[in-house]
Amino acid sequence: MSRLELGAWALGVLVLVVLPQALSLFQLVQYTVFMIYALLALSLDFIWGIAGILSFGQAALFGIGGYVYGIVAINFGLTPLALLAGALAPAAAAGIIGYVAFYGRVGSMYFAVVTLTVTLILYQVMGSTADPRYAVGAAELGGYNGMTNIPSLSLAGPAGQPVGPAEGFYLAGGLLLLVLASCVALARSSYGRVLQGIRENERRMELLGYDVRWRKLLAFAISAAIAGLAGGLFASWGNFINPEVFSLPQAAIVVIWVLVGGRGSLWGAVLGTVLVQYLASLLGQAGATYTTVLLGVMLIAIVLLFRRGLAPALTEALAHAVRRRPGMAARG
Amino acid sequence: MDQVLVTAVGVLFAISTLVLLALGLAVIFGMMGVVNLAQGEFLMLGAYTVLVSTSHGLPVWAGMALAPFVVGAIGVLFERSIIRFLYGRPLDTMLATWGLSLALVGAVTLVMGPATEGIATPLGSIEIGRYSLSVYRLVVIAITGGTVLAAYLVLGHTRAGLVARATMQAPGLVAASGVDPRHVFMATFGVGAALAGLAGAVMAPLTGVVPSMGLAFIAKIFITVMVGGSTVLLGTAASSGVLGLAESAVSYVSTPIYGQVAMLTLALVLLRLLPDGISGLWRERR
């Protein structure tokens, strides 16, 4: 680990600790959800940026995590257990999809379309559960209105006090840093290097004797668990979840976060998320329809003009202007 | 006997709509290899063409005849402005057309409003014993048959079809023979968009017209074309048959939502069992 990197981590922790003191309650709650979204973006950057597998289904896995958290929390009240279940259920779902796709040696394009298809089907299925008879135990699924009255996470057991805004912020931020650090470590492990090899040339890795299918499956399951963790936190944060998490704009914005941050860097996904969501919250007053148009145009513009992502392009431009040492520019 | 006939027409209708909806994508995705996620919005634009023309006093059929040309032109416009820069970069194409899809849904919502508009189903219905059957459904089946036949004849038995197929196989060779492959790509994309426009227009009286209507179709048509595999027309027709049958059978005994789930599950199983006919195709072409 270089000194620069160590400094970056220290800065991250510092920002996390100091920020709540400087924010209003509204901002605190808002930034908490930014960090939950950043966790979701991280899940995509891990599978797409490191392993080179584009999944459009991260938002759907996030949604499964949220729903499972809600079902377990409402029925049993054990919220930490619910959070764990919310991470494991999407991992299992990813296992099934990944088994079909990777062991069937479905091409990368088809994988993206399959994940998108699953997302859309989930949207319609969850939307059709408005009737009260669609319930898991005491948890009514609620159709397009979604599942309401989901208990907030409480670390002291069922009877304990649920986490407040500040604790929620520290929890989301802490988990984000922890997962980010784990992803970075994983990317540098021998497993992570094989994943990067698969990204660069899958056939060659196979010929070198690595079982590509199993490693891709594992990577997808890990990323699904991260997305599900974010989904569980989201359901706890807002005390509700609805099928909008399975909608196309939601699936698209995850890709945009990662594209803006520049894929493959992991930390870029976090920055991209915060940047895009902050701008979106400024634009929010203009109405959701304008936001959708803007999202679409952004996606087209990034693809046509900034192939490697907005943040890397900016960093490069900056580095060029300042004529920094190339080694530093590469590390950012 | 009456019930058998009505059920048979119902199943045939389910399969036909799937073929009709998927045909444009079969050309754009199946032939050209362009993963066009805005295909659902092309369908939507076709439906809106009918809505706008009927509100201006034109008969429904005129709107349906107009839709392929309008949407075909729009398709060519987007091919020139976006898609052509992205040939050979499938993932980028996917992202850009996804952006296009979101932007089109948003833009149409701003112009036409978010409400679902109805178009009266033309032609009424006929009585078969105790059952009544919408004549329009029979017309949809006929239009599908006609369109598939026309597509088959154009692709297989005309010079234009030959050039189009050759361009997808070996653009360099086509260029050497004096035809600009870029024009062929543009025209083929336009035809795919026009087919979507027609399908959207034909479906409009049955589904209602709403900016987000493409969402209901996009997943269906992609899995249909994907399961279809190698031979574009025949494959799409065959997979529409299998998937449409599964969907209507399950919908019949439970709800349309479970029908969709059954269709997706079957598609995943088919993908797992027949990976070569599907992903192998892609590798061959690019």
Band of the pLDDT at A244, cuts 50, 70, 90? confident
Q: Give the whole-number percent of chain A exceeding pLDDT 70.
A: 92
Across chain A, what does the average pLDDT equal? 84
Contact B107 A293 (CB under 8 A): yes
pLDDT tens per residue across span A96-113: 989 888 887 777 777 887
Instruction: Identify the closest residue of chain B to A55 by CA–CA distance.
Output: B91
For residue B278, what pLDDT is reported? 43
Q: Tell me, yes or no, whether A268 lies in a domain.
A: no
Q: Which two tokens stand for residue A76?
A: 């049993």
Q: Is B83 on the interface with A (CB under 8 A)?
A: no
pLDDT tens per residue across span A179-209: 999 999 999 999 999 999 999 988 899 899 8
Band of the pLDDT at A288, cuts 50, 70, 90? low
- C-beta separation of A162 from A151 below 8 A: yes
Beta bridge partners of A147: A241
For tokens 């009585």, the residue is B127
Which is higher by pLDDT, B273 or B225?
Answer: B225
pLDDT tens per residue across span B41-84: 999 999 999 989 888 888 888 888 899 999 999 999 999 988 88
For residue A227, what pLDDT is reported? 95
List CB contacts (< 8 A) between A252 and chain B.
98-99, 102
Residue type, A257: W
Contact B82 A304 (CB under 8 A): yes
Q: Give the whole-number percent of chain B exceeding pLDDT 70.
A: 94
For residue A8, what pLDDT is reported? 80
Q: Which two tokens stand for residue A176?
A: 């984000």
- The half-sphere exposure of B22 on its side-chain side, counting CA atoms within 13 A, is 31
Rounded to the nearest 5°, which phi and psi values hold at A190? -65, -35
Q: Tell me, yes or no, whether A172 lies in a domain.
A: yes
Contact B99 A252 (CB under 8 A): yes
Band of the pLDDT at A158, cuts 50, 70, 90? low
> For residue B286, is pLDDT > 50?
no
Q: Tell me, yes or no, whether A259 lies in a domain.
A: no
Q: Tell me, yes or no, whether A133 lies in a domain.
A: yes
Contact A299 B279 (CB under 8 A): no
List CB contacts (< 8 A) between A110 and chain B.
226, 271, 278-279, 282
Q: Tell me, yes or no, whether A276 lies in a domain.
A: no
Beta bridge partners of A241: A147
> For residue A326, is pLDDT > 70?
no
pLDDT tens per residue across span B179-222: 888 888 898 899 999 999 999 999 888 888 888 888 878 878 88
Contact A299 B99 (CB under 8 A): yes
Band of the pLDDT at B279, cuts 50, 70, 90? very low
CA distance, residue B220 to nearest chain A CA (Å): 8
> For residue B284, is pLDDT > 70?
no
Q: Is B255 on the interface with A (CB under 8 A)?
A: yes
Complete DSSP assignment for A214-243: HHHHHHHHHHHHHHHHHHHHHHHHHS-B-G
Q: Is B91 on the interface with A (CB under 8 A)?
A: yes
Residue A17 CB coordination number (10 Å): 12
Which is higher by pLDDT, B159 or A157?
Answer: B159
Question: Best residue in A258, A293, A306, A308 to probe B by mutation, most B CBs within 10 Å?
Answer: A293
Overall number of domains in chain A: 1
Contact B275 A106 (CB under 8 A): yes
Instruction: Identify the closest residue of chain A to B101 by CA–CA distance.
Output: A296
pLDDT tens per residue across span B136-152: 888 889 999 999 899 88
Average pLDDT estimate for A212-216: 92
Q: Which two tokens stand for residue A148?
A: 């309401």
Band of the pLDDT at A217, cuts 50, 70, 90? very high
Q: Which domain holds residue A105?
A: 12-246
Q: Tell me, yes or no, whether A194 lies in a domain.
A: yes
Q: Which two tokens stand for residue A254?
A: 């995850």
For residue B32, what pLDDT is reported? 83
Max mean pLDDT range (A200-214, B244-258, B263-277): A200-214
Q: Which residues of A126-162 are buried (b: 16+ CB within 10 A; e: fewer)?
A: bbbbeeeeebeeebbbbbeebbeebbbbbeeeeeeee
Residue from the list A121, A292, A302 with its beta carbon closest to the beta carbon of B219: A121
CB pairs under 8 A between A and B: 138
> For residue A92, is pLDDT > 90?
yes
Q: Is B38 on the interface with A (CB under 8 A)?
A: no
Going along chain B from its start, the domains and CATH numbers come out as 2-118+134-285 (1.10.3470)
Contact B90 A289 (CB under 8 A): no
> For residue B281, is pLDDT > 60?
no
Tell me, what DSSP letter sits at residue A150? P
Beta bridge partners of B133: B126
Whole-number Å distance between alpha carbons of A295 and B267: 31
Average pLDDT estimate for B218-228: 81
Question: Best residue in A299, A302, A307, A308 to probe B by mutation, most B CBs within 10 Å?
Answer: A299
- The half-sphere exposure of B213 on its side-chain side, counting CA atoms within 13 A, is 28
- The half-sphere exposure of A30 on its side-chain side, counting CA atoms within 13 A, is 14
Contact A116 B222 (CB under 8 A): yes
